[in-house]
Amino acid sequence: MPNHKIGNEGRMTTSGCPFGAERAYRTLDHPTEYGTGNGVATVATGDFNGDGNLDLVVANSAWSCPHGTVSILLGNGDGTFRPRTDFATGEVPIALVPGDFNRDGSLDLAVVNSLDGTVSILIGNGDGTFAPQVAFATGRTPSGISARDFNADGKLDLAVANAQDNNVSILLGNGDGTFQAHVDYAAGPGAAGITADDFNGDGKAGHRGGECEYVELLETKGSFPFCSATAMELSRRTWTPTPAASSRWM
């Protein structure tokens, strides 16, 4: 499978990683570089044009430019990609997640804009192109995003980590590509990344917010909302529970 390397020079490098039956280790092919926008911040994969091949989406934070973009590089199915197509986002897009937010069978994009304090929703047309962005408010300096069905209504919702506000914004999805106003839940200082999964095995997705020295687990109460947190000190081998870093919960 290909490896991807990104930087801020307006390009991305991919490397094939073939595995030979006669060898017990992997080797990298010569890298191939592809043009992107400026200030590359993150990359994700998805089949954005429905041809069965994985494509790439790159968030271009454009620190020295007036506006941010995402670049779509459609895959050819052989490890190579077509030239990029750019779509506008808000200011300083820093993280993104693909998902079918309007339930039409095509992948859409949710992109958090760190400078704006918004998340841009770009509805996919199913052919690798996207409708113009629609922005929804988050907390200040959003830095991470995850998409899951947090209230078990069959519609994708969004969880956004807000680094400046030290909290997580939940935006419940309406199933048509729009989202309700954000509801915030406290997290530890400098919440910069987030992931969502069923950490306690109850069939409900909670989040894990990434911070400098520890993570917090926010567990769901019933189908929604999040009600409790457990701070976990990070060590090399184990996580030892400590008192929660914040207690402002619904």
| pLDDT band at residue 59 under the 50/70/90 scheme | very high
Over residues 40-49, the mean pLDDT reads: 96
pLDDT tens for each residue of 89-125: 999 999 999 999 999 999 999 999 999 999 999 999 9
pLDDT tens for each residue of 163-202: 999 999 999 999 999 999 999 988 877 777 787 666 566 6
| pLDDT band at residue 142 under the 50/70/90 scheme | very high
- Please state the pTM of the whole predicted model: 0.74
Is the model's pLDDT at 63 over the cut of 50? Answer: yes
Spatial separation of the C-alpha atoms in residues 131 and 233, rounded to whole Å: 42
